[in-house]
Structure 1
Amino acid sequence: MNQNKPMIIGNIPKLPGKYAAWILPLFLSGLMSGIISFINTVKNLGWIENLFSVFFSAWMMSWLVAYPIVLIVLPIVRKITGLLVDMSPNQPHK
């Protein structure tokens, strides 16, 4: 086994680059659904006693829906972005 492989933590190797298309939307949908779920839970219920239990339940349901939606919508958003933004590699950065 190659000892020079990049590791996440300890002896856990990093995933190959081909998995980035699945991992990026996983974290993006998790963070976005978590933030929105927390804001909506506090807005609708206030700072109640079991806030984090209610929030966590709402977040998991939201994430269950958000992840597949991001997987479907992300390629469309990339195409729209390509129509609006010049993605040439020789563009000067200001």
Structure 2
Amino acid sequence: MIPVRFAPILFGLILSGVMSAMVSGIATWRAVGMHNEFGTHWLGAWLLGWSVAFPAVLIVAPVTRRIVARLTRA
């Protein structure tokens, strides 16, 4: 098992992977349509998107938490 101290990084990895897969799939489908090469196009777009999304999530998540904390009350 992975130590709990790595939970935020693992969360960011999974979240960015799932979200970038969905978004790149929709964008690829809209751009090239559903055909035999779709999987290849989607995979390339997803890997590029994930390589950007994962570090972005790690950077943006703490900022977002602070913004949410300021906009909400107990």
TM-score category of the 2 structures, normalised to the smaller one: over 0.9
* Amino acid paired to 1:66: A
* Amino acid paired to 2:57: V
Divergent runs of 4+, >3 A: none
Report the equivalent of 1:78. Answer: 65
List aligned pairs for 1:23-42, cutoff 5 A: 23-42=10-29
Per-residue CA distance 1:41-82 (angstroms, 9 max, x = gap): 001111121101110111000000100011110000000010
Secondary structure in 2 matching 1:49: coil
1:53 partnered with 2:40: yes
> Between Structure 1 and Structure 2, how many residues are aligned?
74
Q: Can you give the 5+ residue segments of structure 2 that lack an aligned partner in the other structure?
A: none
Structure with higher strand content: 1
The structural deviation recorded for 1:18 is 0.1
* Amino acid paired to 1:59: W
Looking at both structures, which has the greater relative contact order when contacts are Cα pairs under 8 Å and sequence separation is at least 6? 2
TM-score (norm 2): 0.95
Structure with higher helix content: 2
Larger Rg: 1
TM-score (norm 1): 0.75
Report the equivalent of 2:5. Answer: 18
